[in-house]
Amino acid sequence: MAKYIIVCGGVISGTGKGVASASIAFLLKLRGHKVNYIKFEPYLSSDAGVLSPIEHGECFLCDDGKETDLDLGTVERIAGINMSSQNICTSGTLYKELIVGQERGENLGKTLQIMPHVTDRIQERLLNLGKTSEIVVCEIGGTVGDMESAVFYEAVRQFKQKNQNDVMVVMVAPILWVPTIKEFKTKPLQNAVKQLLQYGINPEMLLCRVDREIPAKLFDKVSDMTGVERSAVFEAKDVDSVYQVPIEFYNRHIDDYCVDMLRLKRSSCRIHKYKELLEKPINDEVTIGICGKYANHDEAYLSLKEALIHSAIFHGVKLNIKWIKAQTMDAKNVKEELKEIDGLIVPGGFDKSGVDGKIQCIRYARENKIPFLGICLGLQCAVIEFAKNVCAIKDANSQEFEKDTKNPVVHYLAGQKDIAVKSASMRLGSYSCELVKGTLCHNLYSASPSRWDNKNTISERHRHRLEVNPEYLEIFTKNGLNLSGFNPETKLVEIMEISQNKHPFFVGTQAHPEFKSSLSDAAPLFKGFVAASVDRRKKITKKK
């Protein structure tokens, strides 16, 4: 039987359950255990791909094409565990599976009910993951007491009752600082534990989130009032970077406590290499402009931001991000808006909104030799810009923005044009890409051993309906926008670049390399892009 660590949250949402779960999973992995993770989400939607990034944060994409919550990205990045559809389960998925299953003949004759059918399904998911791992970290979305999450708590109660020695529950909740009276308040946390007790679950561990120094005696009080052992009440203070959290947890022996609680063998935690990564000296700084539709919403581009952080740490530079709202950009303000950036990213996206602004920014970056990385829609916009302003195809466009455009330099993938089902119907997941020898991208990937198979092919994740129209490749190449990678089976255009003797870094990729980036293995294209941006900054500062 595997061991289970159930992580839930109290008082408010956004207390960092995801980062706490990922950090615990990572530390246990570093102790040599085979760890997996699952998130139970109380919401009804079954597919994060159709949810708005403004409301829900970015849609994180897995290797198997599952479009999911950003928390799974956090787990991949921090714990280094590859996520897939088995690692997320929403209420909607459970209901859908049960209802569709019955329509097909499962549970015939039975009246489907939340108990036992949904609660059993939840426990089955836990058991299934446990078949291939020693420890499963399970995060329950939302906050204890939410009406919609009750079924998950009931399932956990039953699961814990059946497997008492193998399940521990961790609650992450804040101790609040009330500025008007300058006092800490533990009462909301105490009440959250009480709510958990009402479900018949007593937590074995509390991770108390605090945003400032807090007197130790308050943890004694929390222990007294909640019945959680004093040695299991841990301070979990805000830190500058999520990557610092595993180190904080390690220093506080949170992993030791989990191991003892679950009666696992004590082994040493090989965290030193990781620590060294974070302690790399910072010698310089760089400012990257990100021009997207949701420029005011950090979480809408979370993986992108993290991929930049990984590369900045790799190069020992401090990263500044300038968010540029695409809808506000035009030919007049572009120079002023981009004057302080050392590199420009146009990220992935959907629909026409802000596209003209993105194209203006790309043009400025191309003409002024500002390093540019276009991701998915970013590549497609770069192709439109290049067609219009370099190849003189004035009416070039994407079929996504102008259905009957005369010059569809970006067009629908075969079978995608008239697709009616919006959920999980794009070209999704990891696909391989053959790199063209001698290109900048070939060099960048081949310098990253973990990504390189010596056969010139790499693999990245995709999420798109349109592609660069291969009919225009000849004219692009003639004018200096070259093919640097293509799909070996379908020949689909994967990466394009302007050669380095004409532009220091101008690359567009149909894939989303940000999804596979991590602290210990930063994405090669991001590494190259950040290096080029730092170079540009150095040259400009020298001139001044």
Minimum distance from residue 348 beta carbon to ligand GLN (Å): 3
Among 208, 387, 466, 492, binds ligand GLN (CB under 6 A): 466
Q: Which is nearer to ligand GLN, 233 or 483 (CB)?
A: 483
Q: Which is nearer to ligand GLN, 351 or 471 (CB)?
A: 351
272 is catalytic: no
Q: Verify binding: residue 464, ligand GLN, rule CB under 6 A.
A: yes
Minimum distance from residue 61 beta carbon to ligand GLN (Å): 9
33 is catalytic: no
User: Helix/strand/coil (H, E, C) string of 43-61?
Assistant: CCCCCHHHCCHHHHCCCEE
Q: Verify binding: residue 293, ligand GLN, rule CB under 6 A.
A: no
Catalytic choice (117, 310, 462, 512): 512
Q: Which is nearer to ligand GLN, 57 or 141 (CB)?
A: 57
According to DSSP, residue 521 is labeled: B
Q: Verify binding: residue 376, ligand GLN, rule CB under 6 A.
A: yes
Tell whether omega for the bond before 371 is within 30 degrees of 0, i.e. cis.
no
Main-chain dihedrals φ then ψ at residue 112, nearest 5 degrees: -70, 130
Q: Verify binding: residue 348, ligand GLN, rule CB under 6 A.
A: yes
Select from 73-81, 225-233, 347-355, 501-509 the region that touches ligand GLN (CB under 6 A). Answer: 347-355
Burial 175-199 (b: 16+ CB within 10 A, else e): bbeeeeeeebebeebbbbbebbeeb
Burial 261-293 (b: 16+ CB within 10 A, else e): bbeeeeeebebeebeeeeeeeeeeebebbbbbb
Q: Which is nearer to ligand GLN, 153 or 412 (CB)?
A: 412
Q: Verify binding: residue 358, ligand GLN, rule CB under 6 A.
A: no
d(CA 463, CA 429): 7
Q: Under rule CB under 6 A, how many of the chain's residues touch ligand GLN?
A: 10
Token pair of 110, please? 């039975």
Q: Verify binding: residue 377, ligand GLN, rule CB under 6 A.
A: yes
Binding map of ligand GLN across residues 389-428, x = CB under 6 A, - = no contact: -----------x----------------------------
Q: Verify binding: residue 465, ligand GLN, rule CB under 6 A.
A: yes
Minimum distance from residue 48 beta carbon to ligand GLN (Å): 14
Catalytic choice (376, 381, 433, 441): 376
376 is catalytic: yes
Token pair of 388, please? 């219009």
For the chain, count helices (H), then strands (E).
18, 23
Counting Cα atoms < 13 Å in the Cβ hemisphere of 1 gives 12
Q: Which is nearer to ligand GLN, 417 or 502 (CB)?
A: 417
Q: Do β-strands 372-375 and 343-346 pair in parallel, antiparallel, or remain unpaired?
A: parallel
Q: 379: helix, coil or strand?
A: helix
Contact 208, 234 (CB under 8 A): yes
Place of tokens 């290109």: 439
Q: Verify binding: residue 175, ligand GLN, rule CB under 6 A.
A: no
Report, as residue numbers or ranges, the catalytic residues.
376, 512, 514
Applying CB under 6 A, the residues found at the interface with ligand GLN are 348-350, 376-377, 400, 463-466
